[in-house]
Amino acid sequence: MQKPRYACAAIVKEGKIYAFGGELTDAGVQASVERYDPEAETWELLSAVRSPCCGAAVVVSSNQAFALGGLGLSGQALGTAERLALHGAADDEKTEQAPTWSPLPPMPTPRHLASAAPFRGGVVVVGGKGTNFEAVRNVELYDPMSMSWEVLPPLPNARLRAAVAGGRL
């Protein structure tokens, strides 16, 4: 990589790996995004973007990334949810305007260390640690059409960073 990273968020899109943030930057400095092309075996530095919160779940659904939850500066689990359009950061490295995260309605359950996957055209968030640092069973779905969250049946047992996959059989 072109920059050392710690606890960055990473996603895979169209056979390439994107790493968001994870740098030790000064306050107010935007973190970078890097793209790895396995065919060329190279890392490329892309437009800057604020990195997701520490402990956030990051997932790609369609042509956008979602950052869900994480830890706030107070050390508390967050219910924040944000979306990043990837057409600028991922596909057009000559974009004049840096990509930015757009806020979504807050999740019903604040959490960090959750898992997420594309599901039903949106994104599902599973488990994690809640506001009292206890593992949670909660499962919630963000529907981009209604721009709202739906509470789904909970997991049988609380889970942290569980393996979650989206798709069709």
pLDDT per residue over 26-39, tens digit each? 554 556 778 899 99
Query: What mean pLDDT is reported for the chain?
Result: 81
For residue 123, pLDDT beyond 60: yes
Query: Quick one: tokens of 103?
Result: 């806020």
Query: pLDDT tier at 48 (50, 70, 90 boundaries)?
Result: low
CA distance 120 to 63: 15
The secondary structure element, H or E, covering residue 140 is: strand 139-143
Q: What is the DSSP string of 90-109?
A: II-TT-SSPP--EE-PPPSS
Write down the pTM of the prediction. Answer: 0.76
What pLDDT shows up at residue 93? 47
Which pLDDT does position 49 carry in this prediction?
Answer: 64
d(CA 64, CA 153): 26
| Topology at the third CATH level for domain 9-152 | Neuraminidase (2.120.10)
Check whether 13 has a pLDDT greater than 90: no
The Cα–Cα gap between 6 and 22 comes to 5
Pull the structure tokens for residue 67. 């950052």
Predicted confidence (pLDDT) at residue 126 exceeds the cutoff of 80? yes
Instruction: Write down the pLDDT at residue 25.
Output: 55
Could you tell me which of 1, 85, 82 has the C-alpha nearest to residue 35? 1
Count, residues in the chain: 169
In the chain the first and final C-alpha atoms are separated, in Å, by 35
Instruction: Report pLDDT for 18.
Output: 83
Report percent pLDDT > 70 for the chain.
79
Residue 160 reports pLDDT greater than 60: yes
Pairwise CA distance, residues 169 & 129, whole Å: 30
| pLDDT score, position 39 | 96
pLDDT at position 79 over 90: yes
